[in-house]
C-alpha cells in the first residue's frame, strides 16, 4: 500500500498516453504555438505496462487513461487489453473528448475498458467551435451514443463551467440527466499552467449549479459519496435516469481525500497536478524495484494540498506551480 505523509492511501493512477489532441479547448491549450513531445519521448506501451505492473504491486487498483486526447494514439485498445491483464488491476476508465469514440467504443470495451468520462462543455454546435476551437459536436454526440451501446457506462460527462460562455446551459445539462443514464459532472476551471488573466475572466464557482437545479423545481436528493470514488458531490433528481455532480477543486479543496498519482505521457510521475515536482520514470525502467522506489518517493514528496484558491484572493503561494498545460498532465 502506498500511503503518503498524511495517511492518504493511493490506489488510483491516471496515465496520460499523449500530449496531442484533435481539439484546442480554450481552458486547456493555446490556439497556436503548442509544442508537442516527439513520439520518441513518449513512454512506449511496453514501458507503461512495466510501470503499471510495479504500481499494482504497491496496491494500485484503478487506472484512468487520459491525454491530450488518448484516442489519437494508435492501438489504444491493445494497451488497455495488456493493462487489464495485470494482476491487481480491477478497473480501467478513460477520459476522452469523444471525437473518435464512435469508431473505437466497441473495440475498447472488448479490450476490457470499464467506463468512460466524455468531456462536453456545450450542447450548441457554434459554441462548441468557440470553446474547442474546432467543430465536432455531432461527432461527440455519436461517441456518447456509441459508448452507451458498447456498455461503457455509467457514462460521465465532464463539463467545465466558463463564466459568460456556457453558464446559461447549466439547466440543459441538468435536464440531460433526467431521461438518459448520463452523469453530468460540472467542474471548476482550474488555473493550471497558463495565462492567469483568462482564468480570472472566465472562472465560475459552482454555486450557480445548485441554484439552477433548484430553479428547475424538481425534487432531488444527494447521492452517497462513495469511498475512493473521486472528489465529486453528487445529486439526482428523483426518478431520473442519471445524476449530476459538482467538482470544485478551486473553491473547495478536495485534497484530503486525494488517492491518485499521475503519469505524464513523457514519463514523469506527478504527485500533485498543481505543483512543479515530478519524478522521471525512464531511468528506472527495467527494474521493478526502482520503479516502486519512485512511486514511494512520489508519495513521500506529495504535498498536503494545492493552493489554487490563493489566486482568487491574490494571496501568495508556498511553492512553484507546474508550467505544464492541462493537456500535458491529463486532467
Candidates 41-49, 92-100, 122-130, 140-148; binding stretch for ligand SAM (CB under 6 A): 92-100
Q: Which of 2, 17, 23, 272 binds ligand SF4 (CB under 6 A)?
A: 23
Q: Which of 17, 26, 28, 144 binds ligand SAM (CB under 6 A)?
A: 28
Distance CA 133, CA 317 (A): 32
Sign of the Cα torsion 261, 61, 146, 174 reads negative
User: Does 240 engage in binding with ligand SF4 (CB under 6 A)?
Assistant: no
Candidates 16-24, 197-205, 215-223, 234-242; binding stretch for ligand SF4 (CB under 6 A): 16-24
Instruction: Label the pairing between strands 62-66 and 12-16.
Output: parallel
Question: Is 311 strand, coil or helix?
Answer: helix
For 118, list phi and psi in degrees, rounded to 5: -115, 130
Helix axes 101-111, 76-84, angle to 10 degrees: 20
- The binder of 29, among ligand SF4, ligand SAM, none, by C-beta within 5 to 8 A per type, is ligand SF4
Distance CA 250, CA 261 (A): 19
Kindly state the smallest distance separating residue 87's Cβ from ligand SF4, in Å.
31
User: Does 134 engage in binding with ligand SF4 (CB under 6 A)?
Assistant: no
- The binder of 330, among ligand SAM, ligand SF4, none, by C-beta within 5 to 8 A per type, is ligand SAM
Q: Which of 13, 28, 92, 155 binds ligand SF4 (CB under 6 A)?
A: 28
- As given in the structure block, the three cell numbers for residue 17 are 498516453
- As given in the structure block, the three cell numbers for residue 185 are 459532472
Map the footprint of ligand SAM across residues 137-176, applying CB under 6 A. Answer: 158, 160
- Residue 102: enclosing H or E segment and its boundaries? helix 101-111
Residues that bind ligand SF4 (CB under 6 A): 21, 23-25, 28-29, 67-69, 97, 119, 326-327
Amino acid at each position: 500500500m502506498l500511503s503518503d505523509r498524511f495517511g492518504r492511501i493511493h490506489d488510483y493512477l491516471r496515465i496520460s498516453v499523449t500530449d496531442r489532441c484533435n481539439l484546442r479547448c480554450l481552458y486547456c491549450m493555446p490556439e497556436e504555438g503548442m509544442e508537442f513531445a516527439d513520439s520518441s519521448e513518449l513512454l512506449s506501451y511496453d514501458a507503461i505496462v512495466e510501470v503499471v505492473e510495479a504500481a499494482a504491486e504497491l496496491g494500485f487498483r484503478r487506472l484512468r487513461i487520459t491525454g491530450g486526447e488518448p484516442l489519437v494514439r494508435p492501438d489504444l485498445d491493445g494497451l488497455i487489453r495488456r493493462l487489464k491483464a495485470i494482476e491487481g488491476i480491477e478497473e480501467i476508465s478513460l477520459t476522452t473528448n469523444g471525437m473518435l469514440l464512435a469508431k473505437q467504443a466497441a473495440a475498447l470495451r472488448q479490450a476490457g475498458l470499464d467506463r468512460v468520462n466524455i468531456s462536453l462543455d456545450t450542447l450548441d454546435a457554434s459554441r462548441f467551435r468557440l470553446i474547442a476551437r474546432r467543430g465536432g459536436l455531432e461527432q461527440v454526440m455519436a461517441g456518447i451514443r456509441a459508448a452507451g451501446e458498447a456498455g461503457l457506462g455509467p457514462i460521465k460527462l465532464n463539463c467545465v463551467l466558463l463564466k459568460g460562455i456556457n453558464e446559461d446551459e447549466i439547466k440543459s445539462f441538468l435536464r440531460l440527466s433526467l431521461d438518459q443514464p448520463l452523469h453530468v459532472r460540472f467542474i471548476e476551471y482550474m488555473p493550471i499552467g497558463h495565462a492567469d488573466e483568462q482564468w480570472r475572466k472566465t472562472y465560475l464557482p459552482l454555486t450557480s449549479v445548485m441554484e439552477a437545479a433548484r430553479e428547475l423545481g424538481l425534487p432531488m436528493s444527494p447521492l452517497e459519496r462513495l469511498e475512493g470514488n473521486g472528489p465529486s458531490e453528487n445529486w439526482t433528481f428523483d426518478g431520473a435516469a442519471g445524476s449530476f455532480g459538482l467538482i470544485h477543486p478551486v473553491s473547495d479543496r478536495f485534497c484530503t481525500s486525494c488517492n491518485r498519482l499521475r503519469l505524464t505521457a513523457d514519463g514523469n510521475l506527478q504527485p500533485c497536478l498543481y505543483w512543479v515536482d515530478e519524478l522521471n520514470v525512464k531511468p528506472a525502467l527495467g527494474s521493478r524495484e526502482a520503479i516502486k522506489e519512485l512511486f514511494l518517493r512520489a508519495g513521500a514528496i506529495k504535498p498536503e494540498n494545492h493552493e489554487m484558491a490563493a489566486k482568487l484572493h491574490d494571496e501568495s503561494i508556498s511553492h512553484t506551480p507546474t508550467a505544464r498545460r492541462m493537456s500535458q498532465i491529463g486532467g
